[in-house]
Amino acid sequence: MSQELSKEPVFDGIGYEPSPFSRSQFVASKTDYDFATYENANKDKNKKILVVCTEERYMTMKNGKKFSTGNHPVETLVPMSHLAAAGFEADIFTPKGAPVAIEMWAMPSEDEAVKGIYEQYRTQFENPKSLKDFVAGDMQSDVEYVAVFLPGGHGAMLGLPTNDDLKKVIHWSVENDKYMLAICHGPAALLAAAHHEGPESFPYKGYQVKSFPDIIDTKTPGIGYVPGEMPWLYGEKLEALGIEILNNDISGACHTDRKLVTGDSPLAANNFGKMSAEVLLGQ
């Protein structure tokens, strides 16, 4: 049946959302979120997760067409659900405090848990904190951020990899021994740490990750997931800075290297969320 679906991307008035065929392959109506519980959940409400999202919607492909993207809802909300179950609330940030761009076409329509946490944080997604203001305040806040979370979606490649405020936050997180959590295309935002500099300034040089492979990004135009060839590939840029990407496929795999936790795709969202919660709780 899915073979009869169109592979033509769907025009939204400005750019293109994935084709019906590619959605049938990669967008599930329900996630595998497993409602894990954490016996030693954090009780200190002052400890939170700093979530850095994109405020940019459209990626211009090499052919000039625009891909309607943002942060992937499954890769954002399933990990946040596990972190919440482990006792860690989230504060949502974008570079300037503009609303978060979310790939609503990827929202799992029959997943009440995922839709529920989206509603819980809807006000923050619509009116997030400003990363620029946070940095201007010398990263001082009324709460203790125990980790920085970089959700996936191609939107993580928009603005964040060249954002100097994010650069300062990444270095601050490393210097203060905080965890960095990044899933799918989320590691693209780590490029900010070396913006205007070279590999010698990159704090994750020598680290291993599992993330969305460049090789798959080169193939997705063929099924209409994106409306043209990618403008650039984030994996090769990370590798040039000294990161080793362990996977060339997507299987739901996750990996922890010191205080960097990564996962390869939406398939990894549940296990990535559990791994993140467990390392933060010291399990």
CATH number at residue 150: 3.40.50.880
How confident is the model at residue 17, as a pLDDT?
A: 98
| Residue 216 resides in a domain | yes
| Residue 3 resides in a domain | no
| Residue 2 resides in a domain | no
Tell me the chain's radius of gyration from C-alpha atoms.
Answer: 18
How confident is the model at residue 3, as a pLDDT?
A: 56
Q: Is 153 left (phi over 0), alpha (psi -120 to 50) or beta?
A: left
**Residue pLDDT, tens place only, 76-113:** 999 999 999 999 999 999 999 999 999 999 999 999 99
Verify whether residue 53 is a known catalytic residue: no
Residue among 117, 147, 180, 184 flagged as catalytic: 184
- Residue 50: pLDDT over 70: yes
Q: Work out the mean pLDDT of the chain and round it to a whole number.
A: 97
Residues 6+ apart with CB under 8 A from 101: 53, 54, 55, 56, 57, 69, 70, 71, 155, 158
| Residue 82 resides in a domain | yes
How confident is the model at residue 4, as a pLDDT?
A: 87
| Residue 15 resides in a domain | yes
**Residue pLDDT, tens place only, 110-148:** 999 999 999 999 999 999 999 999 999 999 999 999 999
Evaluate whether 235 touches 213 at the Cβ level (below 8 Å).
yes
Run of H or E including 132: helix 131-136
| Residue 108 resides in a domain | yes
Question: Which tokens sit at 83?
Answer: 């972190």
**Residue pLDDT, tens place only, 177-218:** 999 999 999 999 999 999 999 899 999 999 999 999 999 999
Q: Strand, helix or coil at 129?
A: strand
CB atoms within 10 A of CB 34: 14
End-to-end Cα spacing for the chain: 44
Per the structure, the count of domains in the chain is 1
| Residue 170 resides in a domain | yes
Q: 225 is in which domain, residue-wise?
A: 10-26+43-280
| Residue 268 resides in a domain | yes
